[in-house]
Amino acid sequence: MNGQRRTTATPPNLFRAEELTYPQVRAFKPERTIAFLPVSSLEIHGPHLPLGVDVFTARWGAEEAGRLFAEAHPDWTVAVFLPLTLGTDVIALPGSVNATQRDLYRVLIDQAGSLARAGFRYVVVTSGHAGPRHVSGLEAACRAASRRYGITMFTPSIAAFWLIMNGERFEALEALLGRQLTPEERAGILCGEHAATIETSYMLAERPDLVDPIYRELGPHGPPPFRPILLLARPIASLLVRSTGSESKRRREEIANGLALDVGWLLNTQFGYGGPEVTYMGDPSVATAELGEAYRRLLAEETLVVVEKVLSGELRPEDVRSKRTDFVVLHPLFFRRLALAAAALAAVLFILWSRRRQRV
């Protein structure tokens, strides 16, 4: 156990994957096996947090949700795997480790094949990184692996993360805190997040020795939005969110503003757009270990809720998605499929043209 984690007895049906023996693997009952696999990137997290914040978060989600599941289902075999430190769409500054989305997609599918051969019929992928193509790549790989290997593989943690970040789980967070969130905490959570209120709080609960005290002096900050992209982003958002009403309008604005920030951040780190390089988004100074402990407990519990719903048949695994899958263009195979469709269309047009010439 690391940092400030609670010390609890390990359920006898919970294993670290690296400690399993071959006879144990051969003895698995496939219909009662579940793997928890953390997948996140190493990435710059402000001037005050370590590169591995997302890895710490993904590992916590896997270990704690795995422990809770093992306690609730003593007849199941639960294995928690070592983190895959792999991700895409990271902040493009020295220290961040980036992979292509296609590589992330392929590695995860290959990993799923090994897990399926080992006897795991359920695979839960946890992640602490919310890069658009990272999340879309994980979700697409889970769906593809489920079809290819006949397993149930899904990734619930980013969807759970967004429920907390947009305020939908404030009451649950306050119940764990035993008090109301302060106005500053609410504002800090809702204003956006990267190495800010939530992640700094998480690390204060997980590994306070890795948090530079300078976080107390860091006020609200974030990347410069690339406003020209809003001219395209708003029509695209309108196509993605076709319903009407105030909630739909808010969703469209959220999509458009998110695109503007993502592009602005990339231009900032690569070309200095908008001023000095930006390494965090939000307000780290509001962070507390108390809030971090409540947040990580809620994240594990939300993950477990989704797992239970999938296993009971209440929720289809392919419906476990975050808002990152709103964009079909973010799918790892989008451009490949687009090229194939264009080639097929060109072939059809050529055949029609050839036949017309022959008739002439």
Assign residue 66 the CATH number of its domain: 3.40.50.10310
| Residues 169 and 229 occupy one common structural domain | no
Distances (CA, A) of 262 to 28, 268, 325: 44, 10, 16
42 in a domain, yes or no?
A: yes
324 vs 317, which has greater pLDDT? 317
88 in a domain, yes or no?
A: yes
Q: Which has the closest alpha carbon to 101: 324, 323, 320? A: 324
Q: Which residue type occupies 35?
A: A
Mean pLDDT of 321-347: 59
263 in a domain, yes or no?
A: yes
Cα separation, 88 vs 137, whole angstroms: 9
**Which pLDDT does position 9 carry in this prediction?**
79
Q: Is 95 a residue whose pLDDT tops 80?
A: yes
311 in a domain, yes or no?
A: yes
Mean pLDDT of the chain: 87
Compute how many other C-beta atoms are within 10 angstroms of the C-beta atom of residue 242. 8
| pTM listed for this prediction | 0.85
Q: Is 246 a residue whose pLDDT tops 80?
A: no
> Using one digit for the tens of pLDDT, what is the confidence trace for 151-177?
999 999 888 888 888 889 999 999 999
Q: Is 329 a residue whose pLDDT tops 70?
A: no
- The residues near 194 (Cβ < 8 Å, ≥ 6 apart) are 45, 46, 91, 280, 281, 282
351 in a domain, yes or no?
A: no
Going by DSSP bridges, is the β-strand pair 84-85/152-154 parallel, antiparallel, or unpaired? Answer: unpaired
| Residues 187 and 269 occupy one common structural domain | no
Cα separation, 130 vs 120, whole angstroms: 26
Cα separation, 350 vs 356, whole angstroms: 10
DSSP 224: P
- Which of 122-126, 133-137, 236-240, 310-314 bottoms out in mean pLDDT, i.e. has the lowest? 236-240
> Using one digit for the tens of pLDDT, what is the confidence trace for 175-233?
999 999 999 999 999 887 899 999 999 999 999 999 999 999 998 999 998 888 777 66
Q: Is 304 a residue whose pLDDT tops 50?
A: yes
**pLDDT band, very low/low/confident/very high, at 239 (cuts 50, 70, 90):** low
- Residues of the domain holding 130: 14-194+290-326
> Using one digit for the tens of pLDDT, what is the confidence trace for 17-62?
999 999 999 999 999 999 999 999 999 999 999 999 999 999 999 9
Q: Tell me the two tokens of residue 45.
A: 């997290």
| Residues 22 and 66 occupy one common structural domain | yes
Strands (E), the chain: 14-16, 33-40, 77-80, 84-85, 122-126, 152-154
**pLDDT band, very low/low/confident/very high, at 2 (cuts 50, 70, 90):** very low
- The residues near 305 (Cβ < 8 Å, ≥ 6 apart) are none
| Residues 229 and 269 occupy one common structural domain | yes
> Using one digit for the tens of pLDDT, what is the confidence trace for 58-79?
999 999 999 999 999 999 999 9
Mean pLDDT of 301-322: 93
Distances (CA, A) of 284 to 43, 99, 155, 185, 194: 17, 27, 27, 10, 9
- The residues near 210 (Cβ < 8 Å, ≥ 6 apart) are 49, 50, 203
Q: Is 311 a residue whose pLDDT tops 70?
A: yes
300 in Cβ contact with 117 (< 8 Å) = no
| Residues 29 and 156 occupy one common structural domain | yes
| Residues 155 and 262 occupy one common structural domain | no
**pLDDT band, very low/low/confident/very high, at 110 (cuts 50, 70, 90):** very high
Q: Which has the closest alpha carbon to 126: 320, 292, 323, 262? A: 320
- Which of 222-231, 237-246, 250-259 bottoms out in mean pLDDT, i.e. has the lowest? 237-246
Q: Which has the closest alpha carbon to 321: 311, 331, 313, 312? A: 331
**Which pLDDT does position 337 carry in this prediction?**
54
212 in a domain, yes or no?
A: no
Q: Which residue type occupies 299?
A: L
Q: Dihedral through CA 333, CA 339, CA 340, CA 342, nearest 10?
A: 140
| Residues 95 and 230 occupy one common structural domain | no
Query: What is the C-alpha end-to-end distance of the chain, expressed in Å?
Result: 79
| Residues 53 and 149 occupy one common structural domain | yes
| Residues 101 and 34 occupy one common structural domain | yes
Give the total number of structural domains in the chain. Answer: 2
Cα separation, 124 vs 159, whole angstroms: 13
255 in a domain, yes or no?
A: yes
| Residues 46 and 156 occupy one common structural domain | yes
**Which pLDDT does position 41 carry in this prediction?**
93
| Residues 179 and 243 occupy one common structural domain | no
341 in a domain, yes or no?
A: no
Give the whole-number percent of the chain exceeding pLDDT 90. Answer: 66
| Residues 240 and 164 occupy one common structural domain | no
Mean pLDDT of 308-313: 95
Residue 61 sits at the vertex; the CA angle it makes with 186 and 154, to the nearest 5 degrees, is 105
